Structure 1
Amino acid sequence: MSDLRVGVVGVGVMGADHAERVARKTSGARLVAVADADHGRAEALAARLSEWPAGGESGSTARHSGGTAYGEGVRVVEDPLELIAADDVDAVILASPGSVHAEQLFACLDHGKPVLCEKPLTMDAASALQVVEAEHKLGRQLIQVGFMRRFDPEYAALKQLLDSGDLGRTLVLHNVHRNKSAGPAFRSEMIVRDSMVHEVDVARWLFDEEITRITVHKPKPTSVVGDGVFDPQLAVFELANGAIADVEVFVNFQVGYEVRCEAVAERGSATIGLGSGVFTRAGERWGGTMPADFRTRFEQAYDVEVQRWVDATRRGEIDGPGAWDGYAAAAVCEAGLASLSSGTPVEVALADRGNVLGT
């Protein structure tokens, strides 16, 4: 089979990382085009990732109607919708802001383009449900959502252990999600929608149940954030089978990037995210290493995720969380935002999956 020709929309931190992953590390795929609102950023990335023809000079460009081509490799397209529609783009990675995902996802569906969409699927549950319904009408799945923790070896091993039943039924899930810093533009609602959403998907996946209610608590905020920002946040998820999951999200932890998960079952517990090697506490010191950001902690997960997405796309399938998972997470986060505002538990308004998907 020929290589899958991939276009990346949005080449900020995550999109640039994915673009380089496709260009340098993913077999069976070739990066052919990028688009970004910051055209200069897209051009710089394309120039860096392009493969130069024999005898050519690095930095040489050629303009044509489809954008700016760098060497033999990556071209820059000004309009993301033009990239999605392009004949030489077989599949798309969306790493653009969530506010434009709906339009771009509908374009992918209209053109029959498989798409790996970074979270959130869309910015609200209503538009996310419209995406699910539109995909269902096509009769095949084209959308995979970038909940990469499902591809992390530690999370995958935890899922396998819990599904085996060796520990009995899983009763409680404890999660910690801490970033070193998030910057002044990261507001309270973004902690729910852009950070906590990962634990929403983890809880749904590990329990294989929907979340029916969420409560978001607001402890005293850290002094490093501005007025009106609630960081950290504590959330409690109640699931359809009676299980409980909680998460502490702290995006200005100041120490490093730390993600931990402990599952408590009837006959034991299992914890991931403690770091590799021997972790010691002695002499008022602790020993171990902590990654600086998410790209280091989950590099292997992203590598596996993109490789499996490429392999599945070439087979005409998806291999990971789909549009429904993105919608369900959006619905939980929407209820979480209401709970963040009210300080009370909020029921999750989730459409009936059988009615929507006919299953």
Structure 2
Amino acid sequence: MDLRVGVIGTGAIGEDHIRRLTHTVTGANVVALSDINVQNARRIADKYGAKFYATGEEVIAAPEVDAIVIASWDPTHAHYVLAGIKAGKFVFCEKPLATSANDCKNIVEAEIAGGKQLVQVGFMRRFDRGYRQIKAAIDSGRIGEVLMLHCMHRNRVPGPKHTTEMSIKNSVIHEIDVLRWLLGEDYKTAQVLLPKSSRLAEDGLRDPQIVLLETQSGVRIDVESFINCQYGYDVQCEVVGETGTVRLPDPANMEVRSGGAFSYEIFPDWSDRFIEAYDTEFREWVDATKRGIVAGPSAWDGYVACVTADACTEARETGAIVPIAIPRRPAFYKK
């Protein structure tokens, strides 16, 4: 029997998830949706044969809906996730889980009180083939103990109304989650350096930024965030161990030798670069949900990412090295 999915938020990423669940992932069917842009949401509902609801709360309460995908405006995430938990339905929430650590904590507490894990957070990099290869190399001991990581997250141009704060909370938060997953440990401190700003940055936007993280065991991480790089969407990661290094592979693209130059395509944005990861993410979410479990990034992972992002934001504003205070993980979330 197909998993009957309701989607809240039918903007660019929401519509892409509806397409993915309909045409790419087997075992799921989008039966309901909602968005504040009623005209566009009705168009998408007609296109995919789903029922339009005026509010996200109605989607969650709909008896024909088994599970929820939340792809709405970030500040609405916590409300809809909590409503999904109260309804006892599995929830896939695009990152961030919430816009504040306190809201994330409320979600964690509600899920624990309900006695069952229901929430997965959309950190799709854990499902990327390259990052999974890196994790396998680390876990096997092939490069010895990890000492350092050098990372880069570049966007061709920022999205609309991008702020200095969003560079960490909406961009670097992907590194915050995936690097913690790669290493299997939490962070200890955060520091943010502000190099000379690009002249192409909008008024008041500090870009690029360099985030420095230290893990509990002393691994040092540097992450360059540059959202006005102009040439394409470029994500890099190198892990330095005691006996070797491992580097995130570039996506497989045709290599061209022509006109005295050697070149290959760099994707223009995240949706092309991580399309396979998104497909894998939803395929595994549907399979796990039908088995009644959460197998991907949990509400606890979303909470830890938010706590860390808040510390990075404080570090940028104060210029200080900020300690990252993460509570002990509840036994409820231990796998």
Aligned counterpart, 1:258 = 234
SS at 1:205's partner residue?
helix
Once the two structures are superposed, what CA deviation does each residue of 1:88-115 show, in whole Å capped at 9, x if it has no partner?
A: 1100111111211111111000001101
Instruction: Name the amino acid aligned to 1:137.
Output: A
Q: Report the Cα distance in structure 2 between the residues aligned to 1:6 and 1:112, rounded to whole angstroms.
A: 14
Q: Does 1:195 align with 2:206?
A: no
Question: Pairwise mapping of residues 73-84 of structure 1 onto structure 2 (< 5 A)?
Answer: 73-84=49-60
Aligned counterpart, 2:4 = 5
Aligned partners of 2:144 and 2:243 also within 8 Å: yes
Q: Which structure would you say has the larger Rg?
A: 1
Q: Does 1:350 align with 2:334?
A: no
Q: Report the Cα distance in structure 2 between the residues aligned to 1:204 and 1:105, rounded to whole angstroms.
A: 23
TM-score normalised per structure 2: 0.95
- 1:179 paired residue among 155, 158, 161: 155
- The share of aligned pairs that are identical, in percent, is 40
Q: Does 1:131 align with 2:130?
A: no
| Cα drift, residue 183 of structure 1 | 3.7
Q: Does 1:158 align with 2:157?
A: no
Instruction: Name the amino acid aligned to 2:47.
Output: R
Aligned partners of 2:253 and 2:265 also within 8 Å: no
Q: Report the Cα distance in structure 1 between the residues aligned to 2:248 and 2:257, rounded to whole angstroms.
A: 18
Instruction: Name the amino acid aligned to 1:194.
Output: N
Aligned partners of 1:172 and 1:263 also within 8 Å: yes
Q: Does 1:207 align with 2:183?
A: yes
Q: Report the Cα distance in structure 2 between the residues aligned to 1:134 and 1:337, rounded to whole angstroms.
A: 27
After superposition, the Cα gap between the structure-2 partners of 1:335 and 1:17, relative to the gap in structure 1 and judged at 3 Å, is: same
Instruction: Name the amino acid aligned to 2:117.
Output: Q
| Cα drift, residue 14 of structure 1 | 1.0
After superposition, the Cα gap between the structure-2 partners of 1:284 and 1:197, relative to the gap in structure 1 and judged at 3 Å, is: farther
After superposition, the Cα gap between the structure-2 partners of 1:241 and 1:283, relative to the gap in structure 1 and judged at 3 Å, is: farther
- 2:212 paired residue among 231, 236, 249: 236
After superposition, the Cα gap between the structure-2 partners of 1:224 and 1:309, relative to the gap in structure 1 and judged at 3 Å, is: same
Instruction: Name the amino acid aligned to 1:211.
Output: Y
CA-based RMSD of the aligned residues comes to 1.9
Aligned length: 335
Aligned counterpart, 1:32 = 31
SS at 1:206's partner residue?
helix
| Cα drift, residue 127 of structure 1 | 1.2
After superposition, the Cα gap between the structure-2 partners of 1:224 and 1:267, relative to the gap in structure 1 and judged at 3 Å, is: same
Aligned partners of 1:133 and 1:357 also within 8 Å: no
Aligned counterpart, 1:95 = 71
Instruction: Name the amino acid aligned to 2:27.
Output: G
Q: Report the Cα distance in structure 1 between the residues aligned to 2:160 and 2:124, rounded to whole angstroms.
A: 26
| Cα drift, residue 275 of structure 1 | 3.6
| Cα drift, residue 353 of structure 1 | 1.8
Q: Does 1:148 align with 2:147?
A: no
Aligned partners of 2:22 and 2:29 also within 8 Å: yes
SS at 1:270's partner residue?
strand
Aligned partners of 1:175 and 1:260 also within 8 Å: yes
Instruction: Name the amino acid aligned to 1:325.
Output: D
Instruction: Name the amino acid aligned to 2:103.
Output: S
SS at 1:122's partner residue?
coil
| Cα drift, residue 273 of structure 1 | 3.8
Q: Report the Cα distance in structure 2 between the residues aligned to 1:266 and 1:284, rounded to whole angstroms.
A: 39
Q: Does 1:299 align with 2:275?
A: yes
Which ranges of structure 2 fall in alignment gaps of 5 or more residues? none
Instruction: Name the amino acid aligned to 1:34.
Output: L
Aligned counterpart, 2:13 = 14
Instruction: Name the amino acid aligned to 1:37.
Output: I
After superposition, the Cα gap between the structure-2 partners of 1:357 and 1:297, relative to the gap in structure 1 and judged at 3 Å, is: closer
- 1:119 paired residue among 92, 95, 99: 95
Aligned partners of 2:78 and 2:103 also within 8 Å: yes
Instruction: Name the amino acid aligned to 1:89.
Output: V
Aligned partners of 1:180 and 1:293 also within 8 Å: yes
Aligned partners of 2:300 and 2:333 also within 8 Å: no
Which ranges of structure 1 fall in alignment gaps of 5 or more residues? 50-72
SS at 1:338's partner residue?
helix
Q: Report the Cα distance in structure 2 between the residues aligned to 1:282 and 1:351, rounded to whole angstroms.
A: 56
Aligned counterpart, 1:42 = 41
Q: Does 1:226 align with 2:202?
A: yes
| Cα drift, residue 135 of structure 1 | 0.5
| Cα drift, residue 279 of structure 1 | 6.2
